[in-house]
Chain A
């Protein structure tokens, strides 16, 4: 079973996100970058599949040179190989362009299964996995909390509103992760040492045959006009009261008379 995992780096979820001076991008000064938490689930699941069925785990990312760090992390967790598509012309590609680039890079990697995060917790696009599956012509199953592979088929539990669907597809296929799938392992010290010797290769757009004219900042379908902070709330009205009954009654009075929600 050859599994490819799509990973991207995102700002640490602790980070305060601020608008940069151009009003269209975020201020990246001092931001710590981490592997997208949903991609950690993807790496972990791929490793478990390898442990159960044999094969290999390759991690693939498109990003700048500093994305090597998350690829090394994945290698330290136990992935076998890493590939980074790093090209300044690809910088700030939108979801469709990112998916085009990743699918072009996937032409040189044999795979039975691709695992992506359901979304990057940066732009929350929920798009790249599905677009890669479309460009490669394979089925997708999103929001997976459990999977089982046998006889060339994958059977997944997928979360939807109020239910879990059990879905089956023939491989090759692409799945995206949902929390609950697993608990990602930490890289151990021996793992980190070993990762240093594992192959981490880099490609540019020309290497994978992608026309720069179809990707990058200037070719975004979705253009950011402006970024703004969400409206700030006024200071909270604190309910006054000596006893729980007074506090409770105070809240219900506001909810009933002013906000009219109860």
Chain B
């Protein structure tokens, strides 16, 4: 059986998403334990120049599919190319970052290759015989350890969870000529959100607000800003129209795993906690000492968020 690992990376405007370095680093680790080669795939327009950067994270070979028609992600073309790269590499494992794009691609590719897919994994463990993938179910209320029958196995790994590791290596860049069908979907326009907002699922720090904010997110925005973090929200805050749907954290919103999650004026409903329980450190600020959120937090402050948060911001600025 083949022992190589194929990682499919993601870039936009010739900048790799951080999760791309995470999947390459993880791929290196697994390839070493399988004694196999690590092949990275880069798909895009005019991306040959950035491809070599993946060598620094341990890619032995970097396949580049470069075409002006590949500037935007489309399910059809990217699946065709990924499937062709898989046929060429015959990998034991394919790793993809579970971003919006990555999830879309991984799901379609798994069906194309008739391969088992562990979606949105938090960890890949190589035991003697098998790879074991850890993935949260029910929005994180439970963890599953799964294995995959058949080859290739596909893992889509959650962004921001695996670490990146630089190596001394430098990969060989190889342009590949792949025929792909013209995509049946076309991107008409891309509306970029204002400012350089940090994406929730990629943020290292998230400050979230709920009903307790009464719709006033100013203090939360400021704290998030000094922490270089993103702002999240409970469903209550979203349903009230205080925040956009994109900001909702929870079982029916985004599932996030930052290093630091600060929940402000959020009671700690099971659906909210499900979406953030894998965060490394959880801080809760709530004026009700009985609020269930304190049971899920590492650090708690009983207090009025409008009084406490500005002081936290002030103290951080002093550092």
Bound together: yes
Q: Do A124 and B137 touch across chains, with their CB atoms under 8 A apart?
A: yes
Q: Which residue of B lies closest to A237 (CB)?
A: B299
Minimum Cβ distance to chain A for residue B145 (Å): 5
A121 touches B111 (CB 8 A): no
Decide yes or no whether A150 CB sits under 8 A from chain B.
no
Q: Is B87 interfacial (CB-CB < 8 Å)?
A: no
Give CA–CA (A26, B144) in the complex, Å.
11
B100 touches A (CB below 8 Å): yes
Which single residue of chain B is at the shortest CB-CB distance from A155? B188
**B256 on the A face (CB < 8 A):** no
Q: Taking the nearest CB of chain B, how far is it from the CB of A36, in angstroms? A: 9
Does A122 reach chain B (CB closer than 8 Å)? yes
Q: CA–CA, A225 to B101, complex, Å? A: 28
B118-142: contact bitstring with A at CB < 8 Å (1 yes, 0 no)? 1110000000000010011111111
* B263 CB, min distance to chain A CBs, angstroms: 11
Q: Which residues of B contact A56 (CB under 8 A)?
A: none
Question: A38 at the A/B interface (Cβ < 8 Å)?
Answer: yes
Contacts of A170 in B (CB 8 A): 184
B308 contacts chain A at the CB level, 8 A cutoff: yes
CA distance A142 to B270 in the complex (A): 26
Stretch at the interface among A75-83, A104-112, A129-137, A201-209: A129-137
Bound together, the chains give a CA A135 to CA B192 distance in angstroms of 33
Instruction: List CB contacts (< 8 Å) of A189-234 with chain B.
Output: 220-230, 233-234
Asked if A30 is at the interface of the complex by the 8 Å CB criterion, the answer is: no
By beta carbon, the residue of chain A nearest B201 is A161
> Is B290 close to A, CB under 8 A?
no
| CB-contacts of A158-210 with B (<8 A) | 158-170, 173, 178-180
- Bound-complex Cα distance A13 to B68 (A): 44
| CB neighbors of A among B174-188 (8 A) | 183-188
Chain A CB within 8 A of B215 CB: no
Contact A122 B138, beta carbon cutoff 8 Å: yes
Bound-state CA distance A163–B189 (Å) is 10
Question: What separation, in Å, do the CA atoms of A226 and B147 have in the docked complex?
Answer: 10
Q: Which residues from chain A contact B99 at a C-beta distance below 8 Å?
A: 160-161
Is B299 a contact of A248 with CB atoms below 8 Å? no
Decide if B300 is an interface residue (CB 8 Å cutoff). yes
The residue from B100, B138, B316 contacting A159, defined by CB atoms under 8 A apart = B100
Residues on B with C-beta less than 8 A from A233 are 282, 296-298
Decide: A167 near B281, CB < 8 A? Known: A254-B299, A262-B316.
no
Total CB contacts across the A-B interface at under 8 A: 260
Report whether B145 and A228 are in contact in the complex, using a CB–CB cutoff of 8 Å.
Answer: yes
Stretch from A14-22, A43-51, A61-69 contacting the other chain: A14-22
* Known interface pairs A17-B142, A160-B100; A221-B115 also in contact (CB < 8 Å): yes
User: Quick one: given A140-B75, A167-B187, are A124 and B136 in contact (CB under 8 Å)?
Assistant: yes
CB pair B137–A142 under 8 Å, yes or no, is no
A17 to B111, CA, bound (A): 29
Query: What residue in chain A is nearest B185 (Cβ atoms)?
Result: A169
Q: Report the interface size class on chain A.
A: 35 or more
A197 to B136, CA, bound (A): 40
Docked-complex contact A124 and B119, CB < 8 angstroms: yes
- Give Cα distance in the complex from A16 to B270, angstroms: 8
Q: B108 and A261: CB pair below 8 A?
A: no
B301 and A96: CB pair below 8 A? no
A99: Cβ under 8 A from any B Cβ? yes
A236 close to chain B: CB less than 8 A:
yes
Smallest CB–CB gap between A79 and chain B, Å? 22
A108: shortest Cβ distance to chain B, in Å?
21
Complex CA–CA separation, A261 to B115 (angstroms): 40
Q: Which of A17, A141, A238 contacts B302 (CB 8 A)?
A: A238
Which of the 9-residue segments A1-9, A84-92, A239-247 touches chain B? A239-247
Known: A168-B188, A248-B312. A230 touches B260 (CB 8 A): no
B299 and A141 contact, CB distance less than 8 A: no
A225 to B129, alpha carbons, bound, how many Å?
A: 14
From A96, A138, A220, A239, B114 is in contact (CB under 8 Å) with A96
B65: CB under 8 A from chain A?
Answer: no
Residues of chain A within 8 A (CB-CB) of B186 are: 167-169
Report the bound CA distance from A158 to B136 in whole Å: 25
Assess the A244–B141 pair: CB atoms within 8 A: no
Interface-side segment among B23-31, B32-40, B46-54, B245-253: B245-253
Residues of A within 8 A of B (CB): 11, 13-14, 16-17, 19, 26, 37-38, 94-96, 99, 121-127, 129-131, 133-135, 138-143, 145, 155, 158-170, 173, 178-180, 220-230, 233-234, 236-239, 244-245, 247-252, 254-256, 259, 261-262
- For the complex of A and B, the 4 pairs showing the least CB-CB separation, nearest first, are A248-B311, A221-B116, A130-B107, A180-B245
| A–B complex contacts, Cβ < 8 Å, 5 sampled | A166-B191, A169-B185, A221-B116, A239-B299, A247-B311
